[in-house]
Amino acid sequence: MITKETIDRIFETVRIEDVVGDFVQLKKRGVNYLGLCPFHNEKTPSFNVNPVRNIYKCFGCGKGGNAVNFIMELEHYTYPEALKFLAKKYSIEIEESVPDPKEIELRDERESLYILNSFASKTFAENLFDNEEGKAIGLSYFHERGFSDETIRKFELGYSLADWSAFSEHAIKNGYKSEFIIKTGLGYPRQKDGEVITGNEKLIDRFRGRVMFPIHNLSGRIIAFGGRILKKDDKAAKYVNSPESDIYFKSKSLYGIFFAKKAIVQKDN
Ligand code: ZN
């Protein structure tokens, strides 16, 4: 558990107008700031930020709270995840006491999904740049479409090998649990006559022979993937996306928003 001292420091340090201002274009209105609400659709700003009380309030949808509530709502973060996000923003060192087991479980579970996605993204990028199949099929495709290596690396693009279980096996070999491979949707269990085969049977990779596009949340962590197949295959869908998970909510995610958000806020457009 994050210590009370650390939590107090975070609350003393955060400025609501800074935190919101990273995501919403704010204009000064008297002592307050006003902007378009990120939680509901509106054309006339009714999203109010009060620097004196260090809180926000939307008079359109009624959402309101402090900086931690704002990050929790925006990123679907848990309370400790939001605290860590803000601590990082303000370079506050986190002190933790021995956490209670329930919290560890929840945190570790979601954290495991993020970590596995990050491992997957690195694996797919290695396939793209260092593997013969990846170079021949994936990298040549991106170059053909006019993507520079710089763009490819910035967006962390990659390639998933055409094997049935290449990624799952690689992940398990590197100590990742099959439970999380299934929960992220990177793989799924083999089935026979409609029955899921459990145990140490091989998992099947969801993404096979595809160029890979990681989907980032607003703070840049990978929450899911989209994959495009390049070989002609009438049985396979041209595009496959990760299923929803504890960290990926399709209707609340937009591809590329992490890279675009700064410009969106700056240009207020
Ligand atoms: Zn609102």
Per-residue pLDDT, 235: 83
CB-CB contact of 219 with 75 (8 Å): yes
Residue ranges with CB less than 5 Å from ion ligand 1: 37, 39-40, 58, 60-61
CA 220 to centroid of ligand 1, rounded, Å:
24
Give tens-digit pLDDT for 19-34: 999 999 999 999 999 9
Question: Cα(40) to centroid of ligand 1, in Å?
Answer: 5
The pTM (predicted TM-score) of the whole model is 0.73
38 CA distance to ligand 1 centroid (A)?
7
Total Cβ atoms within 10 A of residue 95: 14
Quote the ligand 1 centre to 110 CA distance (angstroms): 27
pLDDT, residue 36, reads 94
Q: Is 234 exposed, middle or buried (0-12, 13-18, 19+ CB in 10 A)?
A: exposed
What's the CA gap between 197 and 247, in Å, rounded?
26
Low pLDDT (below 70) residues in the chain:
99-100, 103, 197-201
Q: In 3-state terms, what secondary structure has residue 130?
A: helix
**Cα(41) to centroid of ligand 1, in Å?**
7
Q: How far, in Å, from the CA of 254 to the mean position of ligand 1?
A: 19
